[in-house]
Amino acid sequence: MNVIKRAKAPTPKFFKVLRSVGLALLAVSGAIVTAPVALPAAIVTAAGYVAVAGSVLSAVSQITVDDKTSREKAEKPVPDGH
């Protein structure tokens, strides 16, 4: 199964929640990094790390596949046209 098929395949509920958490972390850290006010360097650096963690969490959660649903689709009998 290639990456495109994995991304289009059904995702388990737990990983959908993790994907949403990762996207939220990414959004918050992006807002902190691009804030128009001067923030301490430690906060901006931490926000950069949180952005990386959020993007990795979202990407891995998106390509996680529900094996049960994938197996059911693969095991469906193919009509033979007769």
Task: State how many domains the chain has.
Answer: 1
CA–CA distances in Å: residue 80 to residues 7, 62, 74, 77:
29, 34, 16, 9
Which pLDDT score, from 0 to 100, does residue 65 have? 86
Domain contains 81: no
| Model pLDDT for residues 22-71, shown as the tens digit of each residue | 999 999 999 999 988 999 999 999 999 999 999 999 999 988 888 776 56
Band the pLDDT of 73: cuts 50, 70, 90. low
Q: Is residue 82 part of a domain?
A: no
Rounded Cα–Cα distance for residues 2 and 50 (Å):
28
pTM for the full predicted model: 0.72
The answer to whether residue 74 is domain-embedded is no
Residue 51 confidence (pLDDT): 94
Sign for the pseudo-dihedral over CA of 28, 31, 34, 37: negative
The domain of 34 spans 3-69
